[in-house]
Chain A
Amino acid sequence: MMRFDLTRLPFVRPILVARGPQLALQLAAMAGLILVVIAGLLGTPVGSRNPATVLVWIAWWAALMVVAVPFFGRLWCSVCPLPLPGEWLQRGTVLRPRDAGRGLGLRWPRRLRGLWLQNAAFVMVALFSLPVLTQPRLTALLLTGLVLLAIATSLVFERRAFCRYLCPVGGFIGLYSQAAALELRVRDPEVCAGHTTKICYSGSAAGYGCPWMVFPGSLHANVSCGFCLECLRTCPLDNVAINLRPMGADLRASPRARLDEAFKSLLLVGSALVYVFVLQGPSSSLRAAAAAVGTMAWLAYAAGFLLVTLVVLPGLFLLAASWGRPASSRSTSAWESFRTFAPSLVPLGLAAWAAFSLGFLLTNASYILPALSDPLGLGWDLLGASGSAWTPIGGSLGAWPLILILLVGLAWTSRRVRAIAEALGGGMRTAIPVWGFTLLLTSGLLWVFVA
């Protein structure tokens, strides 16, 4: 498969290896986080006028879902400000590696490895998402809470345990980064296998051992690589590459998913469906219920959310994935079929989130400049835009841009389903029930977008 190693370009490698440019971007992101938290706590409580909600949930989220994750995968994680204070405290330095860091440096418990905690963290945030999306103070408190959790985790456990096992956004980005057109990989795995010191994992004076607890030589997918670039700095054999590649290369190569990864696919695509239905659907009483945390109506909404994302959709997918087993030449259990077909949902899930986020951005983008012009609601006009009127973008196109994104994701998923069905030796008869599931899911999304 075609790949182009960006580090072969003469100007790219020095920029990536030097810590200054990455730190500058991290500090810019940190400044943005500080602005968001201060504005959220001290600024206007009006969500559409406060940078906390506008920058995070309109600008950043859409940029992440529509551009960053589909094309660059986990690149955001390399500059994300949430784990930085904890990481700096853990290391006892900001730039160059030191011999001794601070913190206990315990290994993350084996039983808690995997994505189950991240799945749970995502569900927790998702249940409270409507108040968080609309109330600047709650957005600020959520982000502050995540920073504090990252600090505590960094001081007790080794490396970036928070990013790897806890961060709700990290799990989200990780799953969909498999579709990205960018990857960090070793050039020749044999070179790594023969290199006994494994400096990329243990660290050296040139850089830290992989903060994401990954041995680059065995890296086959983007899921767990945080693009921190440390292995690029430490590898003494110049064996680390940053490749442009065909989108979705991980999905073509990926073997059967673990159960936690498979559930993550279903959870995220199910959450997209629920969000689209609740936030853009016809029922205002459903939105009111999602916003009224602690009431009976909210409890009913939360139960519905959990039922749809954790029971109904996975159940239907289990049924669809196992339906075609008799046609397959390979003997697989129902759960093995579930895990085998689950990665095929990545393109559709990503497309659903991208379409949902793009729709929200197009409608609400005109809030961004006014919110930045008067970040604390004190009557400032820093950018000369505080009085700008709300103006939706692309309204005359209707829902067609969103439909197009969804259809591309659906066609891509359909292609993966067929390839997996062929690999199981079942052909079309094994694929058809899963296609039916994806059509059902897409129809639900289209119905809200269009009808």
Chain B
Amino acid sequence: MTLRHWFSKARFTGLLALMGLVLAIPWPAPVVAATERTIRIEAREYAFTPATIEVNPGDRVTIELASGDYVHGLHVDGYEVNLTAEPGQPASATFVADRPGTFRIHCSVTCGPLHPFMGGRLRVGPPAAIWRALLLAALAIIAGGLGLRPSTTARIADRATS
């Protein structure tokens, strides 16, 4: 194995290790005491308002779902919270936000043509996932761009100049 190949391999292993670190290292976040939160969500015309709920890890969260037009449901991925609300008959559920991350919220009751796209987000803790994903994207570009074997790079360059 030539020195160039060794460096190439070491570089690739290093990038993989960096990607692992990006995923594994706890994201810095201010320590905030867990509290009780009640959040009222209105479902109307294929939209949840607010569309994004932000809570802190450990918060005891009560979601009140109120429908402004038809029967709507609310399902939170990862927490398996399920609610169904009819107009004038709100529904509520309580859970402890013990899993940090960003989770999708869906309407779980077929409510009309745009029902499959009616959704929102629950964010528990800081928005670490997007920063991790963006860092991974940058590393993916580096890994792909530097991933060409030195021999391949030289061959392509030779072909280009010949």
Point out residues on A near B: beta carbons under 8 Å.
46-49, 130-131, 134-135, 279-280, 282, 284-285, 287-288, 291, 329-330, 360, 363-364, 390, 392, 395-396, 398-399, 403, 406-408, 410-415, 417-419, 422-425, 427-428, 431, 435, 438-439, 442-443, 446-447, 449-451
Contact = CB atoms under 8 A, between A and B. Distances in A.
15 contacts: A47-B113, A285-B47, A398-B104, A399-B133, A410-B137, A411-B141, A414-B143, A415-B144, A418-B145, A418-B146, A422-B157, A427-B157, A438-B141, A446-B133, A451-B121
B130 A450 contact: yes
B129 to A, nearest CB: 5
B115 A47 contact: yes
Contacts of A407: 136-137, 140
B111 to A, nearest CB: 10
B108 interface: yes
B76 to A, nearest CB: 8
Contact of B141 (A47, A396, A410): A410
Contacts of A135: 113
Contacts of A285: 47
A396 B77 contact: yes
From B114, B133, B146, name the one whose CB has the most chain A CB atoms within 10 angstroms.
B133
B94 interface: no
Nearest to B115: A48
B10 interface: no
Contacts of A411: 140-141, 143-144, 147
A197 to B, nearest CB: 36
Contacts of A418: 144-146, 148, 153
Contacts of A360: 116
Nearest to B146: A418
B133 A413 contact: no
Given A399-B102, A439-B137, A439-B138, A419 B113 contact: no
Interface of B: 45-47, 51-52, 75, 77-78, 80, 101-104, 106, 108-110, 113-119, 121, 127, 129-130, 133-134, 136-138, 140-148, 152-153, 156-157, 159-161
A284 to B, nearest CB: 3
Given A399-B102, A419-B156, A435 B119 contact: no
Contacts of B145: 414-415, 417-418, 428, 431, 435
Given A395-B104, A418-B146, A423-B159, 19 more contacts: A47-B116, A287-B114, A329-B161, A360-B116, A390-B109, A395-B78, A396-B77, A398-B101, A398-B102, A414-B140, A414-B141, A414-B144, A415-B147, A422-B157, A427-B157, A435-B141, A443-B134, A446-B134, A450-B102
Contacts of B115: 47-48
- Name A's interface SS: helix
A425 B162 CA distance: 11
Nearest to A427: B157
B117 A451 contact: no
A442 to B, nearest CB: 5
Contacts of A131: 113
Nearest to A436: B141
Contacts of A130: 114
B81 to A, nearest CB: 11
A425 B160 contact: yes
B113 A291 contact: yes
A291 to B, nearest CB: 6
Contacts of B148: 415, 418-419, 422
Nearest to B99: A396
Closest 8 CB pairs of A and B: A414-B144, A395-B77, A284-B47, A411-B144, A422-B156, A415-B144, A134-B113, A411-B140
Contacts of A435: 141, 145
B143 A398 contact: no
B141 A439 contact: yes
Contacts of B118: 284
Contacts of A329: 160-161
B125 to A, nearest CB: 13
B133 A403 contact: yes
B156 A451 contact: no
A127 to B, nearest CB: 17
Contacts of A403: 133, 136
B119 A396 contact: no
Contacts of A395: 75, 77-78, 80, 103-104
A56 B64 CA distance: 35
Nearest to B144: A414
Contacts of B104: 363, 395, 398-399
Contact of A280 (B102, B114, B119, B134): B119
A288 B114 contact: yes
From B138, B159, B160, name the one whose CB has the most chain A CB atoms within 10 angstroms.
B160
A330 B159 CA distance: 12
Given A48-B110, A284-B45, A329-B160, A398 B129 contact: yes
A46 B161 CA distance: 61
A423 B160 contact: yes
A427 B153 CA distance: 9
A131 B130 CA distance: 31
B89 to A, nearest CB: 20
